[in-house]
Structure formats: C-alpha cells, structure tokens
Amino acid sequence: MKKTSTRLADGRELIYYDSRDDTVRDAVDRRPLDRTVTTSEVRRDPLLGDAVAIASHRQGRTYHPPADECPLCPSEGDRLSEIPDSSYDVAVFENRFPSLAGDSGRCEVVCFTSDHDASFADLTEEQAGLVLEAWTDRTAELSHLPSVEQVFCFENRGAEIGVTLGHPHGQIYAYPFTTPRTALMLRSLAAHKEGTGGENLFDAVLERELAGERIVLETDHWVAFVPYAAHWPYEVHLYPRRRVPDLLGLDEAARTEFPKVYLELLRRFDRIFGEGESRTPYISAWHQAPFGTLEEFDGVVRDDFALHLELFTIRRTSGKLKFLAGSESGMSVFINDVPPEAAAQRLREVASS
C-alpha cells in the first residue's frame, strides 16, 4: 500500500491509499474554495449524561446531487470534485460539513472506490483489503490528536438510512469522549469481570454463540453471528477469534482473511429479501476501545475490550422498514419483529455458491 497525503483548496487534508507503490498523486484542487467554517459544539445532557453535537452548518451540505455532479467521483475536465485526481483506489478526506471539528473532534469521508455505481459488496478482495488498511491507518493517526478519545469507522448505505450521496463511501468520526454505547459496554464488562473473578465478557459472549444456533459463518480467524438479543431485524456481529482492542491489533492472518469474510456477509445481506428487491440498506459499524483513560470503569483495561463489527439493516421484510417509534425512540427499548434464530437461519440459507 502507498499512502499520499495532500491538501484541498480550502486546507482540508486528503489522503490517497493506492495498491501500487509507483502511483503518483500530484493533482491540484483547482476549485476556488474559501476556508471551511464550522460551528460544531458538543453539549452534555445533564439528565442522561450523554453528548449531543450541535452543528448548524450541516444544513447546507450537499443533498442528493445528480450522478454527474457527485462530489466523491474523480475530477474530470471542468467537473471538479473533492478528489482532484482523475482516478483513485481509496481516498480519505476531512469532511467539508463535519459534525465534529476542532476541539470537538474530527470527521472524515472514506471513498471505497472511484466507481460511482458500485457498492462495497462489489469490491474485489484486494480493494476491500485496501479499505481495511485505510481504516487502520486513520485509526492510528486520529488516536494521536489531543482532542480525540475514540475512533469510529462506519458505513451508511441506502436512502432509507438517510444517505445523501449515492457514491460508495463511509465515514470516520473521531470523538473527544467515550461514546455512550461504548461506555455501556465497558460498564457491563467491568461488572462481569468483578462478578466472575476475572472472566472477560466478550470472550464469554463469543463462546456462547459458538455453541449455539445463531452462527452465520465462521472461518479460521473470524466468527459472524446474530446476537442473542438482536435489536434489529437482521443484525450480524463479526468478531476476530483472537480478542484485540482495535483495528491496529489485528494480526496478518486476520487481515488477510477479513476481505473474503466481510464481502460474503455484505453479499448475503443483498440476498435476504429475494430477487427483485433493491439492495439492502444497512449500517456497518466498527466498535473499538477508546484511547483515553478507563479509570471510571473499575478494573477494566484497554485490552479487555474486543474489537468487533456490527452490521444491521432497518428493513424487516420485503418493502417494509423497521421504524424507531415510541418504545425505541422514547425509552430505548427495542422491539424486534424477527427472532434472531430465524434471522441467522435466513443468512445461512442465502450463502453464495
């Protein structure tokens, strides 16, 4: 992999990740852009203790542009985009309309391919491996920023999810705090460790799932399963067999095997609802240990956390979505219409030949 870092016209960082070591990236951003001005502010909810990012500048972000005006496609002739070069393998740049900025963190866009009409599931294993390298590199780089405590790599796919740019891409949020969802995991981890005399909760969960009926697929280095208490109609958790706290901890064998496993999961998601249905909308989210102190979580050290990916769709059956209504949105109590065991069986049935 070759990494080339440059700057866009308004000063934002752009990084190319290329498969070939001899690739030259010297294209200049020719757009007359002013410096990006953001109004991001993180506020704490005094009752819930969680955080809300107030970012009014995002009201003006690009919204469903036509394909020939896509800002994530390579620049071509007089059509200039966020990517000045005429082609790219994987590109990462600072979001022009970030939810988090400055002392409040950082937001980046990850372009998986220059092919506007593709999806992550269409990538080759080599290309998917390059994306993994980009996620890992950005996690390492962002963790060194003084304002960053946790790095979150994720992809939203599909208009039903709220995606406003059709080009295959994901995002990276670098938070200045430990996110509420991760804090819940760490509290459960601490309580289990104390209550069992040192047993790791992530290890216990994986061991239980391996002995059960919700396994979707397993390989030498990865295990994918529908969790016992799945929140979403079709939800898969992907764990490396060897517990590591973040993407940087994956060994070469797990890295090599990941593209094949992940692409298989994505392709199965696209087959859940049968022929004739549009591509399945989903959210794919990497959970990594925070880089800040864990003192508030008694007895927990960073290596106790288990890196894992959570992949889920809001589609509950053909043509119908799962909406977060009163119980979910008002009380954070999910109601799942699809039994996890049935979801796992369906995801096994649609395995590619």
Q: Give the pLDDT of residue 37.
A: 78
**Dihedral angle, C-alpha 225, 123, 155, 7, nearest 10 °:** 150
For 260, other C-beta atoms within 10 Å of its C-beta total 13
pLDDT recorded at residue 63: 65
| pTM recorded for the entire structure | 0.95
Given this model, what pLDDT does residue 60 score?
Answer: 63
| Cα distances (Å, whole numbers) of residue 179 to 85, 141, 151, 287 | 35, 19, 10, 10
> Among 57, 167, 169, 237, which one carries the catalytic annotation?
169
Q: Under DSSP, is residue 241 helix (H, G, I), strand (E, B) or coil?
A: coil
State residue 1's pLDDT score.
94
Alpha-carbon Rg for the chain in angstroms: 20
Quick one: pLDDT at residue 62?
A: 72
State residue 293's pLDDT score. Answer: 85
Query: pLDDT tens across 133-183, in order?
Result: 999 999 999 999 999 999 999 999 999 999 989 999 999 999 999 999 999
Question: Residue 57: its pLDDT value, please?
Answer: 73
| Dihedral (CA of 174, 175, 178, 183) sign | negative
Confidence at residue 36, expressed as pLDDT on a 0 to 100 scale: 76
- Judged by DSSP in three states, 263 sits in helix
Report the pLDDT value the prediction gives residue 247, as an integer from 0 to 100.
Answer: 98
pLDDT of residue 248: 98
The answer to whether 169 is a known catalytic residue is: yes
In the structure encoding, which two tokens stand for residue 11, read together?
């000063």
Residues of the chain with confidence (pLDDT) below 50: none
Contact 89, 78 (CB under 8 A): no
Length of the chain: 353
**Helix (H, G, I), strand (E, B), or coil: what is residue 20?**
coil
